[in-house]
């Protein structure tokens, strides 16, 4: 029994003629002539197209609407051919182009739906990547921004005018090479260092970097004041705000926070101002016994703008950092060791050798977890404890996504055998 209220519309029931009407619908769908639709003329008086008595158009019901059953009959007679199964998404039309421009019409059905075709490896009239890199280097050389020249030590090797970049096995050594001026850093060296750090970051076969200074007296004595005296302006302030992070000539290398490979500083002598900031870029600092450190830019009214105020408090603590930054006093290697500015002090002749020993020992370890943990530490600086723990938790996923997964190391421990890292833990 229908308990719905009287005002709710109830569809008309299908009577005994439902089967006949369904048969007529099937015949209509297969091309047979069907009964006339509502509003069409009857072919013969009192008869339909099949010679049967014609049905009169349905009358409206008492509420002024048509009966639902008859509306359904009309809709069925006007039914379109069945649609293919599955949802059809709207065709995504791509911009028109000449034939062979990378698109073609999808064959078979759905006219106008376009699909991308594989593009040629190199578009006609455009240089390849190697040629583009060479052209960019030539333009930079003409501008005086990055005087590069091809080194003698293998295909693709590049040497610089102010630094040396040498890779042996998996260890890269970057040497600040201006000993006549205590390896002071000018804008040309900044550009080369920016390029060198990117090269190290993007080299899949480079695991550890060592940065040191040429000669026996200095790691780096800071910014070249001759270059500083010539820099009388930086142009519009808004432009400088962009260039200070993107330009290769504004000590941008000290703002690198995207290198998650280990970096070691072999501090072989004077380490002042921008030289100290370069050493702070490293994760581990090994100092020669003769090394000295200090924020000497204080004497010349030069702002510590290359990472000193950001990194020094993280390394030695707020109080020690403020003392060194404000007073600008020099400290020796032993005091630097005592306050945590350096990790080790070794005899002068062994500083680079010790850095290489440490680098080789790091290269023997699987590299994946080292990089994940370093990234976690760097990305966590300045964040809340909750945010840092979340970053650490997310970094755990890297163990499951590497080619040398953590199960290789754990399984080797269980099997009491030495793990073999085919992909160096990556």
Q: What pLDDT digit, counting tens, does each position of 199-256 carry?
A: 999 999 999 999 999 998 999 999 888 888 887 777 787 777 777 766 666 666 777 7
- Give the active site residue among 248, 277, 344, 353: 277
Instruction: Please tell me the pTM assigned to this model.
Output: 0.63
User: Does one domain contain both 325 and 405?
Assistant: no
User: Does one domain contain both 266 and 148?
Assistant: yes
In a domain, 47, yes or no: no
Looking at every residue in the chain, the average pLDDT score rounds to 76
Question: Which region among 229-233, 298-302, 344-348 has the lowest average model confidence (pLDDT)?
Answer: 229-233
User: Does one domain contain both 205 and 276?
Assistant: yes
Residue 297 designated active-site: yes
In a domain, 46, yes or no: no
In a domain, 214, yes or no: yes
Residue 277 designated active-site: yes
- Give the active site residue among 192, 248, 292, 297: 297
In a domain, 309, yes or no: yes
Last residue of a domain, one of 320, 344, 363: 363
pLDDT at 326 over 90: yes
Answer whether 341's CB lies under 8 Å from 315's CB.
yes
Question: Which region among 86-95, 170-179, 217-226, 267-276 has the lowest average model confidence (pLDDT)?
Answer: 86-95
pLDDT at 340 over 60: yes
Q: Say which residue, 83 or 165, is predicted with more confidence.
A: 165
In a domain, 345, yes or no: yes
Average pLDDT over residues 281-300: 95
At 398, the pLDDT band (50, 70, 90 cuts) reads: confident
Residue 292's domain spans which residues? 144-363
User: Does one domain contain both 359 and 376?
Assistant: no
pLDDT at 331 over 70: yes
Domain count, the chain: 2
At 336, the pLDDT band (50, 70, 90 cuts) reads: very high
User: Does one domain contain both 187 and 249?
Assistant: yes
User: Does one domain contain both 279 and 197?
Assistant: yes
Residue 37's pLDDT is 53
Residue 285's pLDDT is 98
At 348, the pLDDT band (50, 70, 90 cuts) reads: very high
User: Does one domain contain both 252 and 393?
Assistant: no
């Amino acid at each position: 029994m229908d308990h719905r209220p009287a005002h709710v519309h109830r569809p008309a029931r299908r009577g005994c003629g439902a089967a006949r009407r369904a048969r007529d619908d099937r015949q209509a769908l297969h091309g047979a002539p069907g009964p006339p639709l509502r509003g069409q003329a009857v072919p013969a008086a009192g008869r339909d197209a099949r010679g049967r008595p014609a049905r009169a158009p349905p009358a409206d019901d008492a509420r002024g609407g048509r009966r639902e059953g008859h509306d359904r009959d009309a809709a069925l007679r006007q039914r379109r051919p069945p649609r293919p199964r599955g949802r059809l998404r709207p065709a995504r039309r791509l911009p028109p182009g000449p034939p062979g421009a990378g698109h073609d019409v999808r064959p078979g059905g759905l006219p106008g739906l376009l699909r991308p075709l594989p593009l040629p490896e190199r578009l006609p009239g455009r240089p390849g990547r190697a040629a583009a890199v060479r052209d960019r280097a030539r333009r930079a050389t003409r501008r005086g921004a990055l005087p590069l020249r091809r080194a003698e030590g293998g295909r693709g090797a590049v040497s610089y005018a102010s630094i040396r970049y040498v890779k042996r096995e998996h260890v890269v050594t970057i040497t600040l090479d201006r000993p006549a001026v205590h390896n002071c850093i000018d804008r040309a060296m900044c550009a080369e260092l920016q390029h060198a750090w990117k090269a190290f970051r993007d080299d899949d076969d480079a695991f550890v970097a060592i940065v040191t200074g040429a000669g026996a007296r200095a790691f780096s004595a800071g910014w070249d004041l001759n270059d500083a005296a010539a820099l009388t302006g930086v142009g519009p302030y808004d432009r400088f705000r962009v260039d200070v992070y993107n330009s290769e000539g504004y000590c941008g290398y000290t703002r690198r926070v995207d290198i998650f490979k280990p970096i070691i500083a072999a501090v072989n002598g004077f380490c002042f101002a921008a030289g100290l900031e370069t050493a702070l870029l490293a994760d581990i600092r090994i100092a020669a016994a003769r090394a000295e450190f200090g924020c000497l830019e204080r004497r010349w009214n030069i702002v510590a703008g290359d990472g000193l105020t950001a990194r020094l408090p993280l390394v030695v603590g707020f109080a020690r950092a403020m003392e060194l930054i404000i007073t600008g006093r020099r400290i020796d290697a032993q005091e630097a060791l005592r306050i945590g500015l350096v990790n080790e002090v070794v005899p002068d002749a062994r500083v680079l050798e010790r850095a290489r020993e440490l680098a080789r020992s790091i290269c023997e370890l699987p590299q994946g977890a080292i990089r994940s943990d370093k990234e976690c530490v760097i990305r966590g600086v300045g964040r809340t404890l909750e945010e840092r723990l979340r970053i650490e938790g997310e970094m755990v996923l890297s163990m499951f996504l590497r080619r040398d997964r953590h199960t290789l190391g754990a399984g080797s421990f269980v099997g009491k055998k030495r793990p073999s890292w085919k992909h160096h833990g990556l």
